[in-house]
C-alpha cells in the first residue's frame, strides 16, 4: 500500500502557514500475511521546489494556503506556486503518480519511491513545473495521441519549456505555449469499474471568460493505454473542482460557488486560497457526457441550484435508466433519467471567507463546520438535484474498487468522528449501507486518531465475485497515537 500526504510543515525554523502547504511524503507498506512480516519505507516527493528549499533550508516559493518567503520583494507579482505533490498517490495510466491538483503530476517508482520526474501524461498536461495554470483559449481535442511518457530530470528546470505534442497546439493555444502557460492535473482520478477504465482530467483557468478549460481523458486499465480524450469548457468557474464522480454515461462535477480576489495574491500579501470567498449561492452540477456512453453526442447538462453547501469528495455515482425497472441497464440503450451520487462536504456555505476558522497552522475543530456524507439524487430531464444528509461528522469516502460507478455498489467507507454532527479530528472508521441506511463503526482508543482509508479487495481479480458487493475487502489506514507519539498501520475486515 502506498500512502501519500503532507509530511513536513516547517523549513529553516519557520512553520508553514497551513497544514495543507506541507511537503508531500510517501510511505510504502508491504505486508506478507503468510510470513507474518511487514516492510516499511518512506521518502519525500523530490520536486524541483523541494530540492531547492532543502538545499537552502529556507522557504523559497509561495504556496496555496499562505506560506511564502519573507519580504514583499520576493512575493510581489510572483505568481508561481510551489507544487507540494501532497494530496494523493494514485496508480494511473500505467504509472504511480504523486498528485497536487494545481500542478503537474510527479512520477514515482512504486518500489524504491524514487522521484522520477514530472509527467505530462501523453500531452494531457503541459508546461514547466511551476507554470501558471492559465489559458488564453481552448485546447482542441486530438483524434489520437502518441505514447509520450515522463520527462527526464534534465528537462525540468524552470528555464526549459516542457513541450506538449505539436499537433495539440492551434489558434490561441499556441499563445499559451509561447507564454509558457501550463495545465494542471486533478488530484483525484477515478476508476469506472463498469468500463474498466481510469478517468482523469487536466485544467487551466481562462480569466477572460471566467471559465475552466478542461481535458477529460480515459485509460484502459488492462492495456494502460489512452482510449479517449474530450474537451469541455466549464463556464462561470473561479476555482477548479477538487473532486468529481463518473458513471457509465457522465462525468459529474459539483461546483461550489466561489469568488476570487486576485489583488492580494498579485500584491504578494496572501496565498490564493486566502483570497477565496464563498458567495452564499447554490452549487451548480455539470453532467458531461462520456464519449462512449449512452449520452454520447448530447450536450452537457448544467443544473443551477439554490442549495448553498460545499462539496469536497466523491465516493461513487450510479445511474438509473428510462424504461427499466432495475438500475444498471446501460447496455440496453436509452438515456439516464436519474443519477445518484455519494459524496462528502459541509452542510452549508454561507457568504464569507473560504478558509474562515479552518485556516491557520492547526484547524480548531470546535469552530470548523462538521462534514457529512450526502446522497445527491439528480433528475436529468427535470434539471433537479435533491440532497440528503446520511451521516457525519465524516470525510474521505471510498467504495470497493470493483463497484465504483456500478449500481451493485452497496457500502461506503469513511473516516469519522464518534459523535454524530460534532466536528473533531477523525477517531473512527464507519461503513454506511446504502441499501438499509445502517452503519457499522470501529472506534480507535482514547487519544488515537485515524487517517483516510484504502479499500483493498481480499482476493485476486480472477477470484472475486463482482456481482454483489459483500464487503469482501480489507480496510487499511494509518492511526496516530498522541500519547506515544507514534503511528501504525491498521488492517480491518470490511
Mind listing the pLDDT tens digit of every residue in the chain (494 residues)?
999 999 999 999 999 999 999 999 999 999 998 999 999 999 999 999 999 999 999 999 999 999 999 999 999 999 999 999 999 999 999 999 999 999 999 999 999 999 999 999 998 998 888 888 888 765 443 333 333 334 333 333 332 223 334 444 344 667 777 778 899 999 999 999 999 999 999 999 988 888 999 999 999 999 999 999 999 999 989 889 999 999 999 999 999 999 989 899 999 999 999 999 999 999 999 999 999 999 999 999 999 999 999 999 999 999 987 654 444 444 455 667 899 999 999 999 999 888 766 767 777 887 788 999 999 999 999 999 999 999 999 999 999 999 999 999 999 999 999 788 888 899 999 999 999 999 999 999 999 999 999 999 998 877 777 789 999 999 999 999 999 999 999 999 99
Closest to 470 measured CA to CA, from 493, 487, 489, 454 = 493
Q: Give residue 322's pLDDT.
A: 61
Q: Give residue 164's pLDDT.
A: 39
pTM: 0.90
Helix ranges, 230-315 (H): 262-266
Contact 391/417 with Cβ under 8 angstroms? Answer: no
Dist CA 202 CA 484 (whole Å)? 42
Q: Give residue 277's pLDDT.
A: 93
Contact 281/308 with Cβ under 8 angstroms? Answer: yes
- Reduced to 3 states (helix: H, G, I; strand: E, B; else coil), residue 310 is strand
Q: Give residue 176's pLDDT.
A: 78
Dist CA 104 CA 126 (whole Å)? 8
Amino acid at each position: 500500500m502506498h500512502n501519500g500526504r503532507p509530511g513536513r510543515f516547517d523549513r529553516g525554523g519557520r512553520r508553514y502557514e497551513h497544514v495543507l502547504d506541507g511537503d508531500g511524503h510517501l510511505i510504502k507498506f508491504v505486508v506478507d500475511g503468510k510470513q507474518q512480516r511487514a516492510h516499511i519505507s518512506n521518502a519525500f516527493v523530490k520536486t524541483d521546489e523541494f530540492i531547492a528549499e532543502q538545499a537552502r533550508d529556507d522557504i523559497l516559493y509561495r504556496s496555496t494556503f499562505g506560506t511564502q518567503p519573507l519580504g514583499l520583494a520576493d512575493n510581489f507579482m510572483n505568481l508561481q506556486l510551489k507544487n507540494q505533490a501532497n494530496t494523493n498517490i494514485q496508480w494511473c495510466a500505467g504509472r504511480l503518480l504523486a498528485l497536487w491538483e494545481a500542478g503537474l503530476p510527479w512520477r514515482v517508482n512504486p518500489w524504491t519511491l524514487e522521484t522520477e520526474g514530472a509527467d505530462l501524461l501523453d500531452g494531457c498536461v503541459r508546461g514547466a513545473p511551476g507554470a501558471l495554470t492559465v489559458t488564453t483559449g481552448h485546447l482542441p481535442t486530438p483524434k489520437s495521441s502518441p505514447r509520450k511518457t515522463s520527462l527526464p530530470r534534465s528537462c525540468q528546470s524552470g528555464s526549459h519549456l516542457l513541450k506538449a505534442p505539436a499537433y495539440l497546439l492551434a489558434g490561441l493555444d499556441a499563445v499559451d505555449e509561447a507564454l509558457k502557460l501550463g495545465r494542471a492535473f486533478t488530484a483525484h482520478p477515478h476508476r469506472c469499474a463498469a468500463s474498466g477504465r481510469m478517468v482523469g482530467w487536466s485544467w487551466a483557468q481562462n480569466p477572460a471568460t471566467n471559465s475552466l478549460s478542461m481535458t477529460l481523458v480515459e485509460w484502459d486499465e488492462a492495456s494502460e493505454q489512452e482510449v479517449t480524450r474530450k474537451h469541455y469548457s466549464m463556464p462561470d468557474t473561479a476555482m477548479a473542482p477538487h473532486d468529481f464522480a463518473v458513471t457509465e454515461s457522465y462525468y459529474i462535477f459539483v461546483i461550489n460557488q466561489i469568488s476570487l480576489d486576485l489583488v492580494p495574491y498579485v500584491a504578494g500579501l496572501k496565498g490564493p486560497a486566502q483570497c477565496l470567498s464563498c458567495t452564499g449561492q447554490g452549487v451548480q452540477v455539470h453532467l458531461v457526457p462520456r464519449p462512449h456512453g449512452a449520452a454520447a453526442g448530447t450536450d452537457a447538462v448544467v443544473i443551477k441550484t439554490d442549495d448553498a453547501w460545499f462539496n469536497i469528495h466523491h465516493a461513487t455515482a450510479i445511474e438509473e435508466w428510462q424504461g427499466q425497472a432495475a438500475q444498471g441497464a446501460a447496455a440496453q440503450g436509452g438515456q439516464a433519467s436519474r443519477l445518484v451520487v455519494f459524496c462528502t462536504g459541509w452542510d452549508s456555505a454561507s457568504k464569507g471567507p473560504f478558509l474562515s476558522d479552518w485556516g491557520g497552522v492547526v484547524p480548531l475543530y470546535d469552530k470548523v463546520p462538521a462534514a457529512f456524507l450526502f446522497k445527491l439524487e439528480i433528475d436529468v430531464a427535470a434539471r433537479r438535484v435533491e440532497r440528503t444528509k446520511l451521516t457525519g461528522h465524516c470525510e474521505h469516502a471510498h467504495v470497493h474498487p470493483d463497484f465504483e460507478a456500478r449500481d451493485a455498489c452497496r457500502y461506503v467507507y469513511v473516516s469519522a468522528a464518534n459523535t454524530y454532527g460534532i466536528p473533531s479530528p477523525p477517531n473512527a472508521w464507519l461503513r454506511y449501507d446504502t441499501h438499509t441506511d445502517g452503519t457499522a463503526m470501529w472506534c480507535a482508543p482514547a487519544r488515537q486518531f485515524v487517517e483516510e482509508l484504502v479499500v483493498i479487495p481480499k482476493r485476486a481479480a480472477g477470484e472475486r465475485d463482482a456481482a454483489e458487493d459483500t464487503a469482501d475487502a480489507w480496510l487499511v489506514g494509518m492511526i496516530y497515537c498522541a500519547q506515544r507519539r507514534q503511528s501504525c498501520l491498521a488492517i480491518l475486515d470490511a
